[in-house]
Amino acid sequence: MPELPEVETTRRGITPFIADQEITEVRLRHTRLRVPVPADLPDRLTGARLGTPRRRAKYLLLPLENAPGTLLWHLGMSGSLRIARVGEAPKKHDHIDLVLESGRVLRYHDPRRFGFVDWLQADAARDSRLSHLGPEPLSDAFTGERLYRLSRGRRMAVKPFLMDNRVVVGVGNIYAAEALFIAGIDPRRAASRIARVRFDRLAAAAREVLAAAITQGGTTLRDFVSGQGEPGYFAQRLNVYGREGKPCRRCGALLKRVALGQRASVYCPVCQR
């Protein structure tokens, strides 16, 4: 599933090609996504000019400059956005095209059709899918003090606590596992039993691992115009995620796996306490 760094990579990859571009045509090939594509989307968008794309958590927001409203886009389990050229034949599972005045096309590809695009005419921040979200993990609002304060009285394990979008957005399974390893915290430990200084280290580790993942994605931005259409994914060497039974890169102990919140989590029994 595309996580925050992959969505941010997508935003950075498409922005130079779509910002300040007029939409000349909207082509809908398949409208039965997780949320049905609004039937009036072509009428609303044709002739509109796109502003600069923004990201909130794992949502992409494409505002319009000369008309009220914002496109809210979610990539779901398998979705991706890429830049194609007019005349470039769509592939299987290419469901939506926004044709631009430049002769390029913003093309949505989604084999599982679990993503969606929706039209928001009111203030996007008030939409129920966005209004409850916590701070961005790379913002100044995400701190160890926030984690410590919200964790008091919480019996849940620290890993699902860190993955709670009301606490902080975008720290998915991979990045939570890696951040907890860097911070030396056992993912099974109750959030309420973690000291403030350790939460300071965890917040810093989460920022570190997410920033590194975004940087890795940034090295493949050329793919958005190469015809391959694949965004960059987390390519740095993982310490624990997916490495059950392998030696810890730090101490050599065999990594263990445990289920937390219905998600598998791999950790080092020596380095993480």
Q: Is 38 labeled as catalytic in the residue annotation?
A: no
pLDDT digits (tens, 9 = 90+) for 34-84: 999 999 999 999 999 999 999 999 999 999 987 778 999 999 988 999 999
Give the residue from 270, 241, 238 showing the smallest Cα distance to 254: 270
Domain, as residue range, for 99 = 4-126
SS3 (DSSP) at 18: helix
pTM (global) more than 0.75 = yes
pLDDT for residue 231:
52
Query: Is 129 annotated for ligand binding?
Result: no
**CATH code (residue 250):** 1.10.8.50
134 within domain boundaries:
no
Q: Nearest 5°: CA angle at 272, between 269 and 273?
A: 95
pLDDT per residue over 4-28, tens digit each? Answer: 988 999 999 999 999 999 999 999 9
The predicted pLDDT at position 227 comes to 38
2, 53, 187, 231: which one is catalytic?
Answer: 2
Contacts of residue 183, defined as CB under 8 A and 6 or more positions apart, other chains included, come to 198, 201, 202, 204, 205
Chain centroid to CA 60: how far?
A: 9
Same domain membership, residue 172 and residue 87: no
- Clarify whether residues 148 and 231 are in a common domain: yes
Choosing from 58, 104, 159, 198, the catalytic residue is 58
Whether 110 contacts 79, CB under 8 Å? yes
Q: What local confidence, expressed as pLDDT, does residue 234 receive?
A: 56
Residues 99 and 158 in one domain: no
- What is the rounded CA–CA span in Å between residue 180 and residue 57? 20
Low-confidence spans in the chain with pLDDT less than 50:
218-228
To the question of whether residue 55 is assigned a binding role by annotation, the answer is no
What was the pLDDT predicted at 226?
A: 35
263 is catalytic: yes
Annotated binding-site residue? 112: yes
